[in-house]
Chain A
Amino acid sequence: MSVDARTPPTDGGHLLEVEGLKVSFRTEDGVVRAVDGVSFAIEPGEVVAIVGESGSGKSVTAMTLMGLTRSPNASFEGRAMFDGRDLVSATDDQLRKVRGAGIAMVFQDPMSSLDPVHRIGKQIVEQIRVHDKSVSKAQALDRAAELMERVGIPRARERLRSYPHEFSGGMRQRVMIAMALSNQPKLLIADEPTTALDVTIQAQILDELRQLRGETGAAIILVTHDLGVVADIADRIVVMYAGRVVEQGTLDEIFYDPQHPYTWGLLGSITRIDRDRSQRLPAIPGLPPSLLRPPEGCHFRPRCPHAFDRCTQVPELKARLADAPDHLDRCWIEPERKRSLRVVGDQIGLASEQAVVS
C-alpha cells in the first residue's frame, strides 16, 4: 500500500498502482505541468478519495487513467499498472478495451453527460455491446433494466425508452452509475459525482455507491473537493495541491492527524454545522499557483504561514511518523511541531495574520 521512492515498483496484489505520473500540456503560453509526480496505489474493494481544489490536478489524474487526456499537446511520464498492463503507455486500442469494462467512470455533471438525442436504454446497451458483441440487443436491454433497478430508478423497464432530458439530475446520475457498472468494472472512478446535486439526493447517491461497492467488490476512486463526502465514504485519502500529492493516509489519519499545512487549511475552511460558529474561518490566504511557472520547491510555500528557508527545496513524499508507515506527507516541518502549529482557536486550521489576495 505504501509507495515510497525507495521501494522497487511491484505489482503484487494492488488493483491499481500509479507511480510517478506526470502530465503536461503544451499551450501558447508555455508548458502547464498539470500533474507533477503522483504516486498511489488502490487495493481491490477500497474507496480512495483524491481531494483537491481547482488546479490541483485531481481530475487530470483520474482522466489520465482512462486515457481521456490524450491529445497532440499532452505528454506523459510514469506508470499506472492495472491488471498487469501500464495504462499510461498502452496503445489506444488496448486502452479502449479497459475503458467501460475494467475501469468505468462517472462524471460530474449529469445534465450534460448523456447524449441528448439517444434513448437511455440505447446508451447503456451501447456500452455493454461494445465490449461483448455476442450479447444480443434484447439481452443487453434486459441487463440495462436490471442495472437501472439496482440503482433505484423506478419503473426501470419503461424508462429505458426515455430520453435524458426527461430525467431529473439525481436520476441521470443514477443512470450514469448504472451504465458504469454494466460491465462489472473492478475500478469505478467517480469525478465529483454529487457536486451538481441537491444535498438529499447526494446522500442517496452516496448510499447507492456504498451499497454497490459492497455488492460488487469494485474499488472506487472518488475525486472531490468536498471533505464531508470524503468523511462519509472514503477509506483512504490522497490530498493533491498544484499537481502534487501533498499528503496521503487513512481517513482517520488525515482528519485527526493531518501533517501538511494545506490539509490544515482545507479542514479549517469548512463550515461545520455541528460546531460552534466561530468568528472567522481559519482560511488559506491567497490563490493556487500558476501551473505554468510553479513556485520553486514546495508548491504551497507562497501561501504557507509556516514556510521557512528549507521550503525552497522540494520535500519528498514519505512517511515521517514512526507509528504510521502508510501516512505520507510532503512537508519539511518537524512532526513534533505540527501538533501545535495546526491548532487555531479550538480547531484545526491554518493560522494567518490577514487574508492575502494575490
Chain B
Amino acid sequence: MSRFVLRRLLSMIAVLLAISILTFLIFTAIPNPALRLAGRFPTPATLAHINHQWGFDRPVYVRYVLIMKLIFTGQIISYSQQVNVVHQIWVYLPVTASLAIGAGIIWLTMGILFGVLSAWRAGRWLDRGLTVLALIGVSMPVFFLGAVMSYYIGFKLGWLPPSDYVPFTQSPWEWFRHLIMPWIALSVLFIGVYSRVLRSTILDTTNDDYVRTARAKGLTERQVMGRHILRNSLIPIVTLFGLDFAAVIGGGAILTETVFNLHGVGQYAAQSVQALDIPPVLVITLFAAFVVVILGAVTDILYAYLDPRIRL
C-alpha cells in the first residue's frame, strides 16, 4: 500500500509539472503579450517593466521559469486591476470553499440517501418519483435554477437573501442564510447523477455472488446491505466525489457564484475572462488544474484503501 501511495504521489508531481508547462505554452500563443497584460493606456515605463518581469525578450524556457517564479512567490500582478493576483485568490477562496464544502456535504448525503432509497424500492412509486427528481436535477441548468430561486424565494418572498456573501467570522447565521440557495442550486445536478449511479450499482451488486453468500450465512438484509452491498457500491461514488469536488473548488462553480453574486474564485475567473485580464486567468487555470490533480491523487489513494484489489 505504501508503495502505491509513493508511486501515486510521484506521478502526481510529474503531472503537475506537465500541466504547468502546457498551460504556459497555451498562453504564449497570445500576440503582443506585453500590451495585453498592460491594460488600458500603458505607459512606456509599465511596458518596460512588464517586459522585464515576464521576460518577453528572453527565450521560452527562461520565460517559463520567470513566470512560475512570479506565481509561486506570490508576486504576480494584474496590471489592469493593479492588484496582486495570488492575494486576490486568497481573499476569494473562503467563499468558494464555503460554497463547495457545504454543497459537497449536501450532495453527497442526499445523493447517497436517494440512491439507496431508489434501489431499495426499485420499480415502485418512491423509486419512480426519485427518478423524476433526479432527471430534473440533471437537466436543470444551474444558472436557471439559481436565478429562479434567487428571484422568487429571495426577492419576491424575501425568505432568504437573494445574493451576496457574508463571511462566517462576521455572522455565522447570515453566512448560512446566504449560502442555502447557492448550495441547493449547485447540488441539484450532482444529487441527480449520484443517486442514479448508486442506484444502479446497488442493484447490480445485489445480484453478485458474494451477496448471495452473505445471505446464505444468515445475515439480516440490513447487515447484508450495510456490510457488503454498500461497502462495495460506494466505491465508485467516492471516485466521482473526489473529482467533482475538486472541479468545484477549482472554480467550476462559476455560474452559481455569478448568479448569486458570490465573490469567489469562479466569479473572479469569469470577470477576468470578460475583461481579458490575463494574469488572473493564467493563475486560476493553474490553480484549478492543481486542485484537480491533487484531489485526484487523494481519491486514487482512498480508492486503493477501499478496494484491496487495486493496490498495484
- Is the pair B212, A100 in contact by a Cβ cutoff of 8 Å? no
Binds B, one of A24-32, A126-134, A137-145, A252-260: A126-134
Q: A126-B227, A163-B308, A163-B309 are in contact. Are A114 and B216 (CB under 8 A)?
A: no
Quick one: which of A96, A101, A179 has the most chain B CB within 10 A? A96
Which of A107, A118, A127, A163 contacts B212, CB < 8 Å?
A107
**A92 vs B223: C-alpha distance in the bound complex, in angstroms?**
14
**A98 vs B221: C-alpha distance in the bound complex, in angstroms?**
15
- Is the pair A127, B217 in contact by a Cβ cutoff of 8 Å? yes
**A97 vs B220: C-alpha distance in the bound complex, in angstroms?**
10
Q: A68-B215, A96-B218, A99-B215 are in contact. Are A165 and B309 (CB under 8 A)?
A: yes
**A97 vs B215: C-alpha distance in the bound complex, in angstroms?**
11
Shortest CB distance A28–B (Å): 13
Shortest CB distance A129–B (Å): 10
**A305 vs B95: C-alpha distance in the bound complex, in angstroms?**
82
- Is the pair A101, B308 in contact by a Cβ cutoff of 8 Å? no
Q: Is the CB of B273 closer than 8 A to any CB of chain A?
A: no
- Chain B residue numbers with a CB within 8 Å of A117 are 231-232, 235, 306-308
- Chain B residue numbers with a CB within 8 Å of A77 are none
Shortest CB distance B305–A (Å): 10
Which of A66, A92, A112 contacts B216, CB < 8 Å?
A66
- Chain A residue numbers with a CB within 8 Å of B306 are 117
Shortest CB distance A157–B (Å): 19
**Chain B residue at minimum C-beta to C-beta distance from A189:** B216
- Chain A residue numbers with a CB within 8 Å of B218 are 96-101, 127, 130-131
- Is the pair A130, B210 in contact by a Cβ cutoff of 8 Å? no
Shortest CB distance B310–A (Å): 10
**A126 vs B224: C-alpha distance in the bound complex, in angstroms?**
11
**A115 vs B212: C-alpha distance in the bound complex, in angstroms?**
10
Q: Is the CB of B109 closer than 8 A to any CB of chain A?
A: no
Count B-side interface residues using an 8 Å CB cutoff.
23
- Is the pair B308, A113 in contact by a Cβ cutoff of 8 Å? no
**Chain B residue at minimum C-beta to C-beta distance from A183:** B218
Q: A126-B227, A165-B308 are in contact. Are A113 and B213 (CB under 8 A)?
A: yes
**Chain A residue at minimum C-beta to C-beta distance from B232:** A117
Which of B213, B220, B221, B223 contacts A114, CB < 8 Å?
B213
Q: Is the CB of A235 closer than 8 A to any CB of chain B?
A: no
Q: Is the CB of A116 closer than 8 A to any CB of chain B?
A: yes
Interface residues on A, range: 20 to 34
Q: Is the CB of B228 closer than 8 A to any CB of chain A?
A: yes
Within 8 A of B (CB), among A19-50: none
Shortest CB distance A297–B (Å): 35
**A242 vs B44: C-alpha distance in the bound complex, in angstroms?**
94
Shortest CB distance A109–B (Å): 6
Q: A115-B232, A163-B308 are in contact. Are A68 and B217 (CB under 8 A)?
A: no
- Chain B residue numbers with a CB within 8 Å of A104 are 216-217
- Is the pair A99, B308 in contact by a Cβ cutoff of 8 Å? no
Shortest CB distance A180–B (Å): 8
Quick one: which of A101, A115, A165 has the most chain B CB within 10 A? A115
- Is the pair B209, A130 in contact by a Cβ cutoff of 8 Å? no
Shortest CB distance A253–B (Å): 32
Q: Is the CB of A234 closer than 8 A to any CB of chain B?
A: no
**Chain A residue at minimum C-beta to C-beta distance from B308:** A163
**Chain A residue at minimum C-beta to C-beta distance from B210:** A115
**A97 vs B217: C-alpha distance in the bound complex, in angstroms?**
9
**Chain B residue at minimum C-beta to C-beta distance from A102:** B218
Q: Is the CB of B208 closer than 8 A to any CB of chain A?
A: yes
Q: Is the CB of B219 closer than 8 A to any CB of chain A?
A: yes
Q: Is the CB of A105 closer than 8 A to any CB of chain B?
A: yes
Which of B212, B219, B308 contacts A116, CB < 8 Å?
B308
Q: Is the CB of B214 closer than 8 A to any CB of chain A?
A: yes
Q: Is the CB of A187 closer than 8 A to any CB of chain B?
A: no
Q: Is the CB of A176 closer than 8 A to any CB of chain B?
A: yes
**A194 vs B141: C-alpha distance in the bound complex, in angstroms?**
55
Shortest CB distance B123–A (Å): 9
Q: A115-B232, A163-B309, A165-B308 are in contact. Are A126 and B210 (CB under 8 A)?
A: no
**Chain B residue at minimum C-beta to C-beta distance from A111:** B209
- Is the pair A112, B308 in contact by a Cβ cutoff of 8 Å? no
- Is the pair A176, B213 in contact by a Cβ cutoff of 8 Å? yes
**A113 vs B209: C-alpha distance in the bound complex, in angstroms?**
5
**Chain B residue at minimum C-beta to C-beta distance from A66:** B216
How does the 8 Å CB contact mask read for B191-215 relative to A, with 1 for contact and 0 for none?
0000000000000000011101111
Shortest CB distance B222–A (Å): 11
**A163 vs B309: C-alpha distance in the bound complex, in angstroms?**
8
**A277 vs B214: C-alpha distance in the bound complex, in angstroms?**
45
**A163 vs B218: C-alpha distance in the bound complex, in angstroms?**
21
- Is the pair B217, A126 in contact by a Cβ cutoff of 8 Å? yes
CB-defined A-B contacts under 8 Å, sample of 10: A92-B221, A109-B209, A112-B209, A112-B210, A113-B209, A113-B213, A117-B306, A126-B217, A130-B217, A130-B218
**In the complex, given contacts A115-B231, A131-B218, what are 7 additional A-B residue pairs having Cβ atoms less than 8 angstroms apart?**
A98-B218, A100-B218, A113-B210, A113-B212, A117-B231, A117-B308, A130-B218
Please give the residue numbers on chain B whose beta carbons come within 8 Å of chain A beta carbons, in ascending order.
208-210, 212-221, 223, 227-228, 231-232, 235, 306-309
Q: 5 closest A-B pairs (Cβ-Cβ)? A: A100-B218, A100-B217, A112-B209, A99-B218, A127-B217
